[in-house]
Amino acid sequence: MSLLSQHIQAKKAALRRLATKPMSTLLSALVVAIALTLPALGYVLADNASRLAQGISGRPEISVFMDVNAAESDARDLERKLHSDPGIAAIRFIPKAQALKELASEAGLGNVTATLGENPLPDALIITPRDDSPAEFLRLKEGVSRFPGVAHVQLDTEWVQRLDALLRLARSAVGALAALLGTALVIVTFNTIRLQILTQRHEIGVSLLLGATRPWVRRPFLWFGLLQGALGGVIAWGLLQLILIALRGPATRLADSYGIPLEIAGPGLLQVLGLVALAAALGWLGAALSVRRHLKDGVATD
């Protein structure tokens, strides 16, 4: 019998064990699902919070102020040079005359600006980076500061750094929670397989006496842990969708009261597949540890 045929046979045996005790299978899968739903929900909410914060604050920008005595052609030359940088998404040039006009109209300083002998404001460039990371902002600042005629570069990164730190903290907390609950998932599978091995120890002993190999005995248990974990992952996805549906209404009403557009997005296809694959891998790990511990030297032990 080929290795593939042996795995197919082991998988069928694991499916029969799952189907034989549907209530026990469902309860174990629910434990797995709950352990996965909590960190998955935290990840989805953190991802939505990141998009919401960026939508409220707009994309961060870099303000480049030219020297007051610099000619407009210097700013235009700088604009052309910066367009070649792949890290820059957009550049907006604000002439000093336009800046003075906007200051007079928006700040209500029309009478003050009218008395000025000459325009004290410099030409400016507003740069929108493609990447919102603080490291990219610093790179662009250092690069732009080297150009002649540039008097000052102002970074709009204070809120970016705070948001980045907050989201890192949230993701770290979600990661720690996922690690703890993942360990609990492995322990649950470990004990489930242990009980199965002890229940079937006489059957296992007879199989070994008849010439069955240890890998042949172990495979159904490994497939059982993998399939139970995968089933838990599918249920976790369903629970996550139900929770997000329940949250959408209250969250939307809260956002509307503040005039903020909000739409809670669920996990994508790749994220769902990753969730199921992770659950299956953790189930297989728990089963492998249990089999290794309780089938020492091919003998079922307590």
pLDDT in tens, 213-255: 777 778 888 888 899 999 999 999 999 999 988 888 887 787 7
pLDDT in tens, 174-209: 889 889 989 988 998 888 888 888 877 777 777 766
Q: Taking 60 as the threshold, does the pLDDT of residue 117 lie above it?
A: no
> Which residue type, as a one-letter code, is found at position 71?
A
Closest CA to 33 of 208, 222, 243: 243
Q: Taking 70 as the threshold, does the pLDDT of residue 107 lie above it?
A: no
> Domains plus CATH for the chain?
3-56+161-298 (no CATH), 61-156 (3.30.70.3040)
Whether residue 91 contacts residue 127, with contact meaning beta carbons closer than 8 Å, is answered with yes
Q: 61-75, 134-148, 212-226: lowest mean pLDDT where?
A: 212-226
- Provide, for the chain, the percentages of residues in helix, strand and coil under a 3-state DSSP scheme, each rounded to the nearest 5: 70, 10, 20
Mean pLDDT of 100-104: 66
What is the pTM assigned to this prediction? 0.63
Average pLDDT for the chain: 80
Mean pLDDT of 28-45: 88
How far apart CA 226 and CA 228 sit, in angstroms, is 6
How far apart CA 70 and CA 112 sit, in angstroms, is 24
Mean pLDDT of 37-50: 84
Mean pLDDT of 161-169: 76
- pLDDT on residue 59: 63
CA-to-CA dists, residue 53 to 173, 186, 293, angstroms: 19, 36, 49
pLDDT band at 158 (very low <50, low <70, confident <90, very high): low
- pLDDT on residue 208: 66
Backbone torsions φ then ψ of 103, nearest 5 degrees: -65, -40
In total, the chain counts a number of residues equal to 302
How far apart CA 91 and CA 276 sit, in angstroms, is 43
Residue 93, number of CB atoms within 10 A of its CB = 15
Whether residue 33 contacts residue 236, with contact meaning beta carbons closer than 8 Å, is answered with yes
Q: Which residue has the higher pLDDT, 7 or 302?
A: 7
3-class DSSP state for residue 107?
coil
How far apart CA 88 and CA 90 sit, in angstroms, is 6
- pLDDT on residue 235: 94
Q: Which residue has the higher pLDDT, 86 or 157?
A: 86
Closest CA to 10 of 218, 235, 266, 182: 218
Closest CA to 65 of 127, 123, 138, 148: 123
What dihedral angle (degrees, nearest 10) is formed by the CA atoms of 215, 217, 219, 222? -120
Could you tell me where the beta strands, DSSP code E, fall in the chain? Answer: 62-66, 88-94, 124-129, 150-155
pLDDT band at 297 (very low <50, low <70, confident <90, very high): very low
Q: Which residue has the higher pLDDT, 58 or 52?
A: 52
How far apart CA 192 and CA 290 sit, in angstroms, is 9
CA-to-CA dists, residue 194 to 190, 288, 290, angstroms: 6, 10, 6
